[in-house]
Structure 1
Amino acid sequence: MKKEKRRVDLRKEAFKRIESMHPHMVLLYVSMIGSAIIFLFTIVAFTVSRPADADFLTINFPKSFIISTFVLLLSSFTVSKVLPAYEKDDLDEVKKWLGFTLLLGFAFSLSQLTGWKELQSYNILFTGHRSGAYLYVISGLHVLHMAGVMIFAVVLLLECHKTSQDAVKHLMYSTNPYQKVKLKILTDFWHFADAVWIVLFFYFLFSF
């Protein structure tokens, strides 16, 4: 009886948390689940197609993918500083950490392009064996996710910069609960993209 009651209480608490969430946050988490499922299916497809391709056993893992992983881990740290800066009403800090995060995001994207060139030098082409094509599709899909969150970060950075120039707008910006929601959406999705790449990185690492 006690266990059953505890389960009911946990369910009620979970529903209350969901109900208290902003609709955009709920949409974000649903989107993240959907994206995770898509990545899972592409990884399964890559796994199924890979055994027939012996070339993967004879090449080195692209160094650019290793570099990009460290860059993305660093960006996860910088983006985690954005929301605390907003809560302290320090827009200069918000802009600084958003700027650092964007720079690291661009560096990650550039290193991904370099990684694709390394794959091409190993004669692993998008138009070649299907397992090679899946490598480009999976990593490219992740880059698209990063591009989307980076565009959102640019919008937030420009909004913050424009607001910081006017005292009245600054006050409205700092006291508007939705601004915090937007920054949380950015932070959560950025961390999600980071986590997805870490999983992909280790999977690819042990595939070479």
Structure 2
Amino acid sequence: MKKEKVRIGLRREAFNKMEQMHPHQIMLYVALIGSSVLFLFLVVAFTASQPENSNFLKIEFPKFFVVSTVLMLLSSFSVSKIIPAYEKDELEELKKWLGITFLLGLAFATSQFLGWRELQENQILFSGVRSGAYLYVITGLHVVHVLAILLYAVRLLVKCNKVSLDAVQSLIYCTNPYQKIRFKMLTDFWHFVDVLWILLFFYLLFSF
């Protein structure tokens, strides 16, 4: 009986939290869950498609994938500074961390392209065996997620820079609850792609 009451209480608490969320946040979280399922399916398909007793992936792990991981970890640190800067009404600090996060994300995407070049030099091609195609699809889809969040970060940075030029708009901007939600969505999405890449990185690392 007590366990049932606890379960009911937890369910009510979960529903109350969802009701307090902005619809855009709920849409984002639903999308992230969908993306997680998609990546899980692709990883399973990639694993199942690897031919037995072959030299596929018996090559040196792409160095630029390691560089990508370092860049992603650094960007995760920089994005964690955005909301504290906003809460302190420090728009210059906010712009700085938004800019740094954007540049690190752009560097990550670039390093991914260089990692694909390393794969091509080792004759792992998109048009080759199925496993190779899945490898490009998995890492490429992750880059698409990163590029999407980079566009959102640019939008926030441009808005923040415009507002910082006017004292009145700055005051309204820093006291608008929805603005904090937008930055929260940015950080949540960014941490998602960060954790996702770390998981993919170690999976691929032990696959080579």
Q: Per the shorter chain, which TM-score range?
A: over 0.9
Alpha carbons 1:125, 1:133 under 8 Å: kept: yes
Alignment of 1:117-132 (within 5 A): 117-132=117-132
Please name the residue that 2:7 is paired with. 7
**1:11-70: CA deviation from partner (whole Å, max 9, x where unpaired):** 111100000111111111000000001101111110110134723342011010011001
For the pair 1:45 / 2:45, whether they are aligned, the reply is: yes
* Distance change (3 Å), C-alpha of 1:117 and 1:53: farther
Equivalent residue, structure 1, for 2:55: 55
Give, as a single letter, the amino acid of the residue that structure 2 aligns with 1:30.
V
Question: For the residues of structure 1 that align with 2:119 and 2:8, how far apart are their CA atoms?
Answer: 52
Q: How many residues align?
A: 208
User: TM-score scaled to structure 2, two decimals?
Assistant: 0.98
Q: Distance in 2 between matches of 1:165 and 1:4?
A: 56
CA distance in 1, matches of 2:157, 2:19: 29
Corresponding residue for 1:69?
69
Identity of aligned residues (%): 62
Amino acid at match of 2:39: F
Alignment-derived partner of residue 146 in structure 2: 146
Please identify which structure carries the higher helix content.
Answer: 1
SS at match of 2:56: helix
> Does residue 120 of structure 2 align to residue 114 of structure 1?
no
User: Corresponding residue for 1:90?
Assistant: 90
Matched, 1:103 2:103: yes
Tell me, yes or no, if the aligned pair for 1:53 and 1:131 is still in contact at 8 Å: no
Unaligned segments of structure 1, at least 5 residues: none
Amino acid at match of 2:154: V
Distance 1:143 1:50 in 2: 23
Rate the CA distance shift 1:53–1:111 in 2: closer, same or farther, 3 A. farther
Distance 1:116 1:53, change over 3 A: farther
Name the counterpart of 1:20.
20
**1:158 corresponds to:** 158
Matching residue of 2:170: 170
The aligned amino acid for 1:205 is L
- Partner of residue 195, structure 2: 195
Q: Which amino acid aligns with 1:127?
A: S
RMSD over aligned CA atoms reads 0.9
Q: Deviations over 1:70-111 (max 9, x none)?
A: 110010000000001000000011100001101100110111
Name the aligned partner's letter for residue 138 of structure 1.
I
Query: Structure 2: which 5+ runs fail to align?
Result: none
The letter of the residue matching 1:117 is: R
Deviation at 1:2, TM superposition (A): 1.3
Between the aligned partners of 1:23 and 1:32, the Cα distance in structure 2 is 14
Matches of 2:184 and 2:132, distance apart in 1: 36
Deviating beyond 6 angstroms after TM superposition, the runs of 4 or more aligned structure 1 residues are none
Secondary structure, aligned partner of 1:55 = coil
